[in-house]
Structure 1
Amino acid sequence: MAAGFESVALLIGAATFLGILSQKTGQPKIIAYIIAGISLGPVGLDLVKQGEMINLFSELGLVFLLFLIGLEIDIEEIQEVLKSTVGIAVIQMALTFAAGTLTAILVGFTGTTAYIIGAAVMFSSTALVVKVLTERDEETTLPGRLDVGVLLVQDVAVVVILAFFTVNFSTPAQAALKLAEIFLMISIVAAISFGSSKYFFSKVMKSISGNRLAFFTHGIAWAFLFISLADYLNLSLEIGAFIAGIGLAQIPYSRELQEDIRPLTDLFMAIFFMNFGISISGSSLQQYFIPAVIASILLIVFKFLIFFLTIDRFKFTPKTSFTASVNMTQVSEFGLILTSLAITQGFVQSEISGFVSLVAILTMGTSAYLIRFRDKLEEEFKPLLDLFKSEEKTDLEVERLEDHAVIIGYDEMAEKTCSKLAEEYDIMVIDQESDKTEELAESDYTYVYGDFKHGEIRQGANLKKAEFILSFSKQKQVNNVLLEERDEETVVFVKAGNFEDASEFYDLGADYVMIENILAGNRISEYIEIYLEDKEVFNKEINSELQHIRGDEEFPN
Structure 2
Amino acid sequence: MPSYTKGETNTPLMSEIALAADFAIIVVVATIIGLIARQTGQPTIIAYIITGIILGPVAFDIVTDEGLVELMGNLGFAFLLFLLGLKMRFEDIREILPAVTNVAIGQTVLQTALAFTVAWALGFGTEEILVIALATVFGATPIIVKILTDKDEITSLPGKIDVGVLIVQDIYLVVVLALFATDELGGAADIASTLGVILVMMSFIAIFSLFSSRYVLPGLFRRIADNKDVFLVVAIAWAFLFVAIAEATNLDPKVGAFLAGLSIAQLPYSKELEDRVTPITDFFILVFFATIGLQIDGLSSLLAHWWEAIVASTVLMVGNFWIMFYLIDREGFDVETSFLASINMVQVSEFSLIVGALAIEQGLIGSDVLGYLSLMALLTMGLSTYIISYNYAIYARLEPWFRRFESDERKDAEISTYDGHAIAIGYDEITERALPRLEAEFDDVVIIDRRTDHIEELEEEGRYEYVFGDFRHTEVRKEANLNAADFVLSSSVEREVNEALLREVDDEATVFVEAERIDDARALYDRGATYVIMSTHLAAEKVSEYVELYVTDRDRFDDAVASDVDVIEARRRRGRRRFGEDEPGSSPGVDGDPIGPSPDSLEDRRSGGEFRD
TM-score relative to the length of structure 1 = 0.90
Contact 1:130–1:148 (8 Å) recurs in 2: yes
- DSSP-derived class of the 1:128 partner: helix
Distance (Å, rounded) in 2 between the aligned partners of 1:521 and 1:65: 53
Is 2:465 aligned against 1:446? Answer: yes
2:324 aligned residue = 307
Q: What secondary structure sits across from 1:453 in the alignment?
A: coil
For residue 522 of structure 1, report the CA deviation from its aligned partner.
9.4
Superposition map of 1:324-339 within 5 A: 324-339=341-356
Match of 1:434 in 2: 452
Q: Identify which of 432, 447, 462 aligns with 1:415.
A: 432
Q: Could you list the runs of 5+ residues in structure 2 that have no partner in the other structure?
A: 1-5, 7-16, 543-613
Structure 1: unaligned runs, 5 residues or longer: 524-557
1:483 correspondence with 2:464: no
| Pair 1:192–1:441, CA change in 2 (3 A) | farther
Q: Is the 8 A contact 1:498 1:516 kept in 2?
A: no
Matched, 1:456 2:472: no
Q: CA deviation at 1:177?
A: 4.3
- The CA distance in 1 between the partners of 2:164 and 2:70, in whole Å, is 32
Map of 1:277 onto structure 2: 293
> Deviation per CA, 1:329-383, whole angstroms, max 9, x where unpaired?
0011211111111111122223211000000000111111222232232233223
- After TM superposition, the structure 1 = structure 2 runs for residues 166-177 of structure 1, keeping only pairs within 5 Å, are 166-167=181-182, 168=184, 170=186, 172=188, 175-177=191-193
User: Paired residue for 1:80?
Assistant: 95
User: Relative to structure 2, which stretch is displaced further, 181-190 or 226-235?
Assistant: 181-190
- Give a deviation string over 1:98-138, Cα, whole Å, max 9, x none: 11111112222121101110111111100111011101111
Specify the alignment match of 2:529 in structure 1: 510
What residue in structure 1 maps to residue 45 of structure 2? 30
Q: Aligned residue for 1:212?
A: 228
- Separation in structure 1 between the aligned mates of residue 453 and residue 272 of structure 2, nearest angstrom: 16
| Structure 2 SS opposite 1:415 | helix
Pairwise CA distance, 1:219: 1.1
**Residue 182 of structure 1 aligns with which residue?**
198
What's the secondary structure of 2:511's corresponding residue?
strand
Q: Is the 8 A contact 1:252 1:437 kept in 2?
A: no
User: Are the aligned partners of 2:209 and 2:260 in contact in 1 as well (CA < 8 Å)?
Assistant: yes
Say if 2:207 is the partner of 1:191: yes
CA radius of gyration, larger in: 2
Of 79-88 and 443-452, deviating more is 443-452
Q: Give RMSD over aligned pairs.
A: 1.9
Q: What secondary structure is seen at the aligned counterpart in 2 of 1:62?
A: helix
Question: For residues 206 and 480 of structure 2, what CA distance do their matches in structure 1 show?
Answer: 29
Trace 1:344-493 onto structure 2 (pairs within 5 A). 344-425=361-442, 426-442=444-460, 443-493=462-512
Relative distance call for 1:104 and 1:171 in structure 2 (3 A) is closer
Alignment map for 1:181-260 (pairs within 5 Å) = 181-260=197-276
User: 1:519: which partner in 2?
Assistant: 538
Q: Secondary structure at the match of 1:393?
A: coil
Q: CA deviation digits over 1:242-278, x for unaligned, max 9?
A: 1111111111211121121111111111111111111
Cα contact 2:467–2:476 (8 A) shared by 1? yes
Q: Distance in 1 between matches of 2:229 and 2:135?
A: 38
What is the deviation of 1:235? 1.7
Amino acid aligned to 2:424:
I
SS at match of 1:392: coil
In structure 2, C-alpha distance between the alignment counterparts of 1:406 and 1:48, rounded to whole Å: 51
2:488 is paired with a residue of what secondary structure?
strand
Q: Which SS does the other structure have where 1:495 is aligned?
A: strand
In 1: Cα distance, 2:473 partner to 2:403 partner: 43
> Which amino acid in structure 2 is aligned with residue 49 of structure 1?
T
Corresponding letter in the other structure for 1:358: L
CA distance in 1, matches of 2:208, 2:536: 49
State whether residues 15 and 267 of structure 1, in contact with CA within 8 Å, keep that contact through their aligned partners in structure 2: no
In structure 2, give the amino acid aligned to 1:231: E
Are the equivalent residues in 1 in contact too, given 2:305–2:368 (CA < 8 A)? no
Partner Cα separation in structure 2 for residue 200 and residue 338 of structure 1: 34
Indicate the SS of the match to 1:423: helix
Distance 1:311 1:147 in 2: 10
| 1:533 equivalent in structure 2 | none
- Structure 1: distance between partners of 2:212 and 2:416: 29
Among 11, 14, 31, which residue is 2:29 paired with? Answer: 14
AA of the residue aligned to 1:213: D
Relative to the length of structure 2, the TM-score reads 0.82
The alpha-carbon deviation at position 171 of structure 1 amounts to 5.7
Quick one: distance in 2 between partners of 1:215 and 1:247? 15
Between 508-517 and 116-125, report the one with greater CA deviation: 508-517
Counterpart of 1:517 in 2: which secondary structure?
helix
Please state how far the C-alpha of 1:480 moved relative to its aligned partner. Answer: 2.0
Q: 1:140 maps to which residue?
A: 155
State the alpha-carbon separation in 2 of the partners of residues 25 and 177 from structure 1.
47
Q: Matched residues in 2 for 1:486 and 1:121: separation?
A: 39
TM-superposed CA distance for 1:85, in Å, is 0.9
In structure 1, the partner of 2:140 is 125
Is residue 470–residue 492 contact of structure 1 (8 Å, CA) maintained in 2? yes
Is the 8 Å Cα contact of residues 515 and 521 (structure 1) preserved in structure 2? no
Which of the numbers 125, 134, 155 marks the counterpart of 1:110? 125
Q: Deviations over 1:421-450 (max 9, x none)?
A: 112221111112221122234524332222
- Matches of 1:345 and 1:244, distance apart in 2: 27
**C-alpha distance in structure 2 between counterparts of 1:13 and 1:438, whole Å:** 45
SS at match of 2:423: strand
Cα distance in 2 between the residues matched to 1:165 and 1:49: 23
Cα pair distance change 1:180/1:279, threshold 3 Å: closer
Shift of 1:315: 1.8
For residues 236 and 227 of structure 1, the distance between their equivalents in structure 2, rounded to whole angstroms, comes to 8
- Give the superposition deviation at 1:411: 1.1
Most deviating of 490-499 and 209-218: 209-218
Maintained 8 Å contact 2:304/2:368: no
Q: Secondary structure at the match of 2:216?
A: helix
Query: In structure 1, what is the Cα distance between the partners aligned to 2:206 and 2:110?
Result: 28
**Contact 2:426–2:449 (CA under 8 A) maintained in structure 1:** yes
1:313 aligned partner, one-letter code: R
Q: CA deviation at 1:46?
A: 2.4
In the TM superposition, what is the alpha-carbon distance from 1:12 to its structure 2 partner?
A: 1.3
Q: Aligned AA for 2:456?
A: E
Deviations 1:457-495 (A, max 9, x none): 223222211111100113222112212222211110011
More displaced 10-residue stretch of structure 1: 22-31 or 149-158: 22-31
Alignment-derived partner of residue 561 in structure 2: none
Q: Distance in 1 between matches of 2:540 and 2:329?
A: 54
In the aligned structure 2, how far is the partner of 1:440 from the partner of 1:429? 9
